[in-house]
Amino acid sequence: MLGDIDGPHRLWVRDPLKGSALAYVIVRDDAVDLRHAAARRLDRRLAGAPPMRLPPGFAPTSFQRRRLCMLLDILDAALDRERTGITTHEIARRHVYPAMTIGRGNEWKSSAERRRTQRLIDEALALMDGGYRALLRG
C-alpha cells in the first residue's frame, strides 16, 4: 500500500528481484481503461510528480457510498436473522426508514416500504453472491 493524497495505491509486488525493473500486468477486461488510468497515476507518483485527481469511476459518489453502506448494514442484519430473529419490518425500521410509522400486520404486508426493503435485502445478498464484481467494474 502506497499512500497518496487522493487515495492509496494498492500494489501486489510479486517476487521482486533486487535492481530489476518493475512491470505492470493489466487485465484486459471491461475495466481496462480504468486499470490504465491507475497505472498512469502510479507512474506519476513513483516519478515524484504531484498527485493527480482520481479518474472518474475510481471512487463512489457520496450517494453511492451511503447506499453501499446501507446495503452492508442490511446484509449484516439479514445474515444474522437466524441468531437474532430480526424481521424484514425491523430491518426497514433500523436501516431503510428510521422514522417509519407503519406498524406490523396488513398495513406492513401491503406497503411499498415492505416491497422496497425486500428488494434491498435481495440486492445486498446478490452483491455478496458475486454482484460486487460488476460494481468494481463500474
Task: Compute the C-alpha angle 133/136/138, nearest 5°.
Answer: 120
Q: Is 16 exposed, middle or buried (0-12, 13-18, 19+ CB in 10 A)?
A: exposed
pLDDT per position as a tens digit, 7-65: 676 777 777 777 777 778 888 887 788 788 888 888 888 888 877 677 766 677 788 88
pTM for the full model? 0.62
